[in-house]
Amino acid sequence: HPASAVQLHPHTTVIVDEAAAGRLTHLDYYRHAWDNKPAWQGI
């Protein structure tokens, strides 16, 4: 799983489309994190 290596980096931005995001486990958590991220975080 190539994405497994992404979690080892201290600063990573991952952009996925709705179809891919729909397959994530813990989708509610990721949506909550995105909706409540600080303004300084950018994308």
pTM above 0.75, yes or no: no
pLDDT computed for residue 1 by the predictor: 65
Q: What is the pLDDT along the chain (43 residues), one digit of tens a residue?
A: 667 787 888 888 888 898 988 888 999 998 899 899 999 988 7
What's the domain count of the chain?
A: 1
Q: How far apart are CA 4 and CA 21, in angstroms?
A: 16
Domain with 20, as residue range(s), is: 3-41
